[in-house]
Amino acid sequence: MAATGQSPEQSIKRLAELLAGARRPAALTGAGISAESGIPTFRSGDSGFWGRFSPQDLATPQAFAADPLLVWCWYAWRRAQLAEVQPNAGHKALAELEHRPAGFTVITQNVDGLHQAAGSRNVIEVHGSITAVRCSADCTPRRYRLHERETDPTAATAFGADREVAQLVAERGDEAFALIREGHAIPSGVPPVCPSCGAYLRPDVVWFGEELPIEAINRSYKLAERADVFLAVGTSAVVYPAAGLPELAGAAGAVVVEINPEPTPLSNQADLSIRSGAGSALSAALELLDRGPGRA
């Protein structure tokens, strides 16, 4: 049963004690940990991406097949937003935990790359990455990456219109997507095509109804089964199979800690549910950890 009756200070102290004693800690993170960097979440309030669009409109293979330009532009807009943001205290605290004797692994549903930007090296991206694109016909395993656009002509083309799309959205807001949908204001060169077979390139993310990368999800299952402390940070815990990881960890004996300002379907199963933002909770716990044993 979740210990929600504790004061925020007691919960943070308990989190610090758990991290101090953990031998195999891990975390599942969701869009909420990037919210403090200014990236809209998927489901909370009208600031969420889905507030403007339903997931079925944009994050499915069917949507891409039906309207590749609109789906491409939605990701181009999101990539351009990423260029303006930094990792926050929550990302940095999880990166810091990697340097402790027990180490730390982050399993993330996020596709924004902010954990790596904060310094985390042990990151499993179970839903792929928005900073890479691949052939939508899977004719080659080649990924074209955002950071290659200065050196690789296909990457340069693939990411070349991101700023143009972002500019259009900045000037016209939601109307931009309507204009794009109706075939006006089409930025040049989008959607880009695969140099090998001519099919459209697509974001290297996992869409609804698509299987998760088998190596990533199997590694995540193993980590959850072996964890002794498992954090669920900034996730609404509704998208499976990722949302099943904290349940799996708890069933295998881990202490499960949820960090989320809102209750979720996980809240009643977690051993500790901390009603707080990720940045403040994780940095406060780390501070107690840094004060050394006995005082956490």
Contact positions toward Zn ion, by CB under 5 A?
135, 137, 139, 194, 196-197, 199
The whole-angstrom separation of Cα 91 and Cα 78 is 19
Q: Does 48 bind ligand BV8 (CB under 6 A)?
A: yes
Residue 272 CA: distances (Å) to CA of 4, 145, 280: 7, 39, 16
Nearer to ligand BV8, 46 or 211 (CB): 211
Q: Does 286 bind ligand BV8 (CB under 6 A)?
A: no
Q: Residue 84 binds what, of Zn ion, ligand BV8, none (CB under 5 to 8 Å, by partner type)? A: none
Nearer to Zn ion, 115 or 202 (CB): 202
Q: Residue 239 binds what, of Zn ion, ligand BV8, none (CB under 5 to 8 Å, by partner type)? A: ligand BV8
Binding mask 205-244 for ligand BV8 (x = CB under 6 A): xxxxxxx----------------------xxx-xxx-x--
Binding mask 172-211 for ligand BV8 (x = CB under 6 A): ---------------------------------xxxxxxx
Range in contact with ligand BV8 (rule: CB under 6 A) among 148-156, 190-198, 246-254, 260-268: 260-268
Q: Does 106 bind ligand BV8 (CB under 6 A)?
A: no
Q: Does 260 bind ligand BV8 (CB under 6 A)?
A: yes
Per DSSP, the residues of 226-265 read H-SEEEEES--S-STTTTHHHHHHHHTTPEEEEE-SS--T
Nearer to ligand BV8, 35 or 224 (CB): 35
29 forms bridges with which residues in the sheet?
108, 233
The whole-angstrom separation of Cα 32 and Cα 170 is 23
Sole binder of ligand BV8 in the list 39, 111, 132, 194 (CB under 6 A): 111
Q: Are 28 and 240 in contact (CB under 8 A)?
A: no
Q: Does 36 bind ligand BV8 (CB under 6 A)?
A: yes
Q: Which residue is nearest to ligand BV8 (CB)?
A: 32
Tokens of 151: 């050196």
Sole binder of ligand BV8 in the list 25, 30, 191, 246 (CB under 6 A): 30
Q: Are 129 and 152 in contact (CB under 8 A)?
A: no
In this structure, which amino acid lies at residue 155? A
Q: Residue 253 binds what, of Zn ion, ligand BV8, none (CB under 5 to 8 Å, by partner type)? A: none
Q: Does 34 bind ligand BV8 (CB under 6 A)?
A: no
Tokens of 279: 């940045």
Of 161, 162, 132, 136, the C-alpha closest to 147 is 132
Cis check for the bond before 195: say yes or no (omega within 30 of 0): no
Residue 191 CA: distances (Å) to CA of 3, 67, 134, 231, 239: 49, 10, 12, 38, 28
Tokens of 197: 């077979």
* Annotated catalytic residue, options 91, 99, 127, 184: 127
Per DSSP, the residues of 83-140 read TT----HHHHHHHHHTTSTT--EEEE---S-HHHHTT--SEEETTEEEEEEEETT-S-
Q: Does 64 bind ligand BV8 (CB under 6 A)?
A: no
Does 127 participate in catalysis according to the annotation? yes
The residue ranges that bind ligand BV8 (CB under 6 A) are 30-33, 35-36, 41-44, 48, 59, 109, 111, 127, 205-211, 234-236, 238-240, 242, 259-262, 264, 277-278
**Mind telling me the catalytic residues?**
127
